[in-house]
Chain A
Amino acid sequence: MKRAFPILGVLTAILLSYALYLALVVAPTERTMGDVQRIFYYHVPSAWTAFILFFINFGASVFYLIKRNPAADIVALVTAEVGVVFCTVVLVTGPIWARPVWGIWWTWDMRLTSTLVLWLIYVSYLFLRRFSSSGQTPLLAAALAVLGALCVPFVYFSIWFFRTQHPQPVMGGGGSIDPRMLHVLLINWLAFSCFAYLVCWSRYRLEKLQRDVDHAHALESLLAPRGSVR
């Protein structure tokens, strides 16, 4: 296991560089948007990766509620953290792309708004984990994760209806995508997923170690002879 980590790290680095090369050099330039459109290869894979991580967070939380498995709790924590990072990347690259193309930084369009709400929900999840002082934080967090995940379809439908009632300028290329672009997009997504997996893995090990250390400290102070407790 320990040897697999650096190997995966090197592979991810190579894959990321290759994906960068593909996105910046190989991918055809978009006809109307020009080179700005290349941010698409970061924006979309980040979004997909974030959604997958949030989905894993939901699965791990349900599993934790049923089985009370500590590993599932660490997985839920880690995927939420990394997912929020990727979701932030989406929310930052979006306006950078939107400004030259649509002429505005932000619009309360359906996808933008629902991504923002999703981000808010998972940030509040991380807040709960940070502020909760009881030993039962995993349970509370898992309950919140389930409610948050259930909220997502409501967010989507409500904002969909909210925004279709008041038509906005249509954005994002509707219609089909060039197969060469799709290829680059998928390679980028693969690279991003590997990267996310790598970060989650290392964060998982860190959290596991932290908990083991805390546990050992607690045990030590229990077992220490009277008077020598620090």
Chain B
Amino acid sequence: MTAPTGITRVTLLKDLRLEWRSKDAINSMLFFSLLVVVVFSFSFDPSAEESRQIAGGLIWVAFLFAAVVALNQTWARELRNQVLDAYRVSPAPANSLFMAKTLGNFIFVSVLEALMTPLFIVFYRLRALGPAWQLLLVAVLGTWALVVNGTFFAAMSLRTRSREIMLPLLLFPISIPALLAMVQSTTAILNGEGARFWIVLLVTYDLVFTTVCLLLFETVLNAE
């Protein structure tokens, strides 16, 4: 039997290889968030001062919507050829699979963010007045918060009718505190204000929800 970390690594590498060859998730996410940016830019005039106030919200809403696109594909891929059923009957720990999927989604969304952020900066003429390295910290913590809950809820909505719409219905309400923290900290850093409270909140949120998702995932995976 392979070690739990080994299973995580193998599954993660498999997902990355699949994504590298098809580029389904990343392409659809990229195009989707590009559309969100363009559509938003028509609803108001993105001049420099105003955009600094709303850019934090805009950027995260775009990433949240785009992440849902990737998250919906996570488990759907495993349903084909009964891969998930095979996993269920195998002695491999469920949490290894969960960690692999979460890490995979984290990588996809991070790549998306790395590609989209320059575009945001150009389109909205952004310049951080506060320490820019904190933005990176917020991005990592915020993406993890979205992805860990998203992967969990995607597995949960797998067995529901109209599962594509079910994921945002479950994910968005629970993510409100995390989203608020991401948006507020991003706006605070862009405006040169302190964001310590929000970062601490995000860290706590990540810790609590990662733990609970790991505790409950096996139950959810085996719920047929």
Contact A128 B160 (CB under 8 A): yes
CB distance from A125 to the nearest CB of B (A): 9
Interface flag for B201 (CB, 8 Å): yes
Is there contact, CB below 8 Å, between B220 and A158? no
Asked if B169 and A146 sit within 8 Å, CB to CB, the answer is no
Q: Does chain A have a CB within 8 A of B159?
A: yes
Q: Interface size bucket, A side?
A: 20 to 34
Tell me the smallest distance from the CB of B153 to a CB of chain A, in Å: 8
Q: Is the CB of A162 within 8 A of B180?
A: yes
Beta-carbon contact of B180 and A159 below 8 Å: yes
Q: Is B31 interfacial (CB 8 A cutoff)?
A: no
Encoded as 1 (CB less than 8 Å from any A CB) or 0, chain B from 173 to 199 comes to 110111011001000000000000110
In the complex, the number of residue pairs spanning A and B with C-beta atoms less than 8 Å apart equals 95
A209 within 8 A of B: no
A120 to B149, CA, bound (A): 16
Is B170 interfacial (CB-CB < 8 Å)? Answer: yes
Task: Kindly supply a per-residue 1/0 record for chain A positions 150-191, scoring 1 wherever the CB is within 8 Å of any chain B CB and 0 otherwise.
Answer: 110011011101100000000000000000000000000000
CB neighbours of B204 from chain A (8 A): 154
In the complex, what distance in Å separates the CA atom of A133 from the CA atom of B163?
Answer: 10
> In the bound complex, how far is the Cα of B197 from the Cα of A158, in angstroms?
9
Please provide the chain A residues from 113 to 170 with a CB less than 8 Å away from any CB of chain B in the complex: 117, 120-121, 123-124, 127-128, 131-136, 139-140, 143-144, 146-148, 150-151, 154-155, 157-159, 161-162
Return A122 CB to nearest CB of chain B, in Å: 9
- Please report which residues of chain A, range 45-75, place their CB below 8 angstroms from some CB of chain B when the two chains form the complex: 65
- Are A147 and B209 interface neighbours, CB within 8 A? yes
How far apart are the CA atoms of A136 and B157 in the complex, in Å?
12
CA distance A144 to B171 in the complex (A): 10
- Contacts A155-B176, A162-B184; is A124 near B169 (CB within 8 Å)? yes
Chain B residue at smallest Cβ distance from A161: B197
Distance (Å) between the CB of B110 and the closest chain A CB? Answer: 23
CB atoms of B159 and A132 under 8 A apart:
yes
Tell me the minimal C-beta distance from A121 to chain B in angstroms: 4
User: How far apart are A188's CB and chain B's nearest CB, in angstroms?
Assistant: 30
Residues of B close to A157: CB separation below 8 A: 177, 201
Interface size on B, residues (CB 8 A): 34
What is the CA–CA distance of A155 and B181 in the complex, to the nearest angstrom? Answer: 10
Q: Which residues of A contact B208 (CB under 8 A)?
A: 150, 154
Is there contact, CB below 8 Å, between B169 and A127?
A: yes
B166 close to A131 (CB less than 8 A): yes
B95 to chain A, nearest CB (A): 14
- Give chain A residues whose Cβ lies under 8 Å from the Cβ of B172: 120, 124
Quote the shortest CB–CB distance from A153 to chain B (angstroms): 9
Let me know if B141 is at the binding interface, CB within 8 A: no
In Å, the complex CA distance between A121 and B173 comes to 5
Docked CA distance A169–B166 (Å) = 37
- Are B160 and A133 in touch, CB under 8 angstroms? yes
Q: Which chain A positions have C-beta within 8 A of B149?
A: 147
Complex formed: what's the CA distance from A143 to B149 in Å? 12
Judging by beta carbons under 8 Å apart, are B161 and A133 in contact? yes
* Pair B223/A131 contact, Cβ less than 8 Å: no
B156 within 8 A of A: yes
Interface residues of A in 62-110 (CB under 8 A from B): 65
B201–A148 touching, CB < 8 Å: no
B residues at A contact (CB < 8 Å): 149, 152, 156-157, 159-162, 166, 169-170, 172-174, 176-178, 180-181, 184, 197-198, 201, 204-205, 208-209, 212-213, 216, 219-220, 223-224
In the complex, 12 of the A-B residue pairs with CB atoms within 8 angstroms, ordered by the A residue number, are A117-B173, A120-B172, A143-B156, A143-B216, A147-B152, A148-B173, A151-B173, A154-B177, A154-B201, A157-B201, A161-B201, A162-B180
Interface residues of A (CB under 8 A from B): 65, 117, 120-121, 123-124, 127-128, 131-136, 139-140, 143-144, 146-148, 150-151, 154-155, 157-159, 161-162
> Lowest 10 CB-CB distances: which A-B pairs, in order?
A136-B223, A154-B177, A134-B159, A120-B173, A158-B177, A131-B160, A139-B223, A121-B173, A143-B216, A132-B160
